[in-house]
Structure 1
Amino acid sequence: MSEPGNRPSPTAPQQPPPRYVRDSHCGTCGAPYTALPSADAWPRTCTHCGTTAYRNPLPVAVALLPVDGPSATGLVVITRTIEPQKGGAALPGGFIDHAEDWRTAVARELREETGIEAAAQDVRLADVLSDTAGHLLVFGLLPPRPLASLPPSAPTDETSGYEILYGPRPLAFPLHTEAADAWFAGRYG
């Protein structure tokens, strides 16, 4: 029953809002995509306005920072405090911002997740890895640093701090594991 003014009664049962399905509507005109062969079909052409949409990967910049320790050289890794893979060890990294150079992104992500400063011009390309889930990671290698030159490990907005990984082990993300294993095997020079 409705109150005056055609507003629903506050005591009447309410219908849940419609479930939002990501990428189900055209980003140009807002019309729903129809006649898709599957929910994973890309690219998509809108039958209403004719715009074709693509699902391109969002590039991620990942830092490989070698650290000369007391008896071996290792890599800086962080412990994540956010999903995905909360609690897992990972190389410092994150999405490259719009109009940001990938080297600048490597240095920024290293600073944001560890407090360790690095110059973008010191970053060199180590590897670019992708998988069938649509992830594209750009691994930037920095010059080795002495352990004593690093700031103390401290929590950040997304990590509980950093540590030095002195040998290969599984990391939170398979592509991080692949790159770290390659570094420990000497494949990045």
Structure 2
Amino acid sequence: ESELGAQLDSLSDFLSFGIAPGLLLYMTIFNQNSSLGAFAALAFIVFSCLRLALYNVKQEEAKIPDDKPYFFTGIPTPMGALLILLPLTHTFLGYDWAYNHLNFIAGYTILISGLLVSQIPTFSVKRGRPQVKSRILFLILFSLIVLSLINFLWVTLNLIAAAYILSIPFSIWAWRGRER
């Protein structure tokens, strides 16, 4: 991968997983008339940019092998995008609670924005492939996930997001175990 390719990849990630979700949240949930919502959406966009810049700097400095290859620092931008868009996915499922709790959604968005640039270790599937003992088991799990995404998109995305959030304490525990 070239330097230019790496920078363009980060730029496309910023557009796809930073700007687009922030604007989508602002234009749909906050309906363009909430100052706190505008701040929260802008915070997500800015922190997404900062997260990707920090990641690029870390990759540049990491020409030496990474001592913790199975972890990210903070949550990755694509997962952050999924997490801030959960209230919108709930509206697609018929639950319109988000429109009545704009301050909560804004606070939640700011929290997720902070997690993007936090020092919390989170599991990285990108860097360390999960070990599956059986190829058949892997194919079955992969097929179930793909079929669920096709047939139950919004429910599946919510379950993936919930599983990710629940995995954060385990990733902290595993990271501390690797430190010893």
TM, length-normalised to structure 1: 0.24
Radius of gyration: which is bigger? 1
Higher strand share: 1
TM, length-normalised to structure 2: 0.25
Give the number of the structure with larger relative contact order, counting CA–CA contacts within 8 Å between residues 6 or more apart: 2
Higher helix share: 2
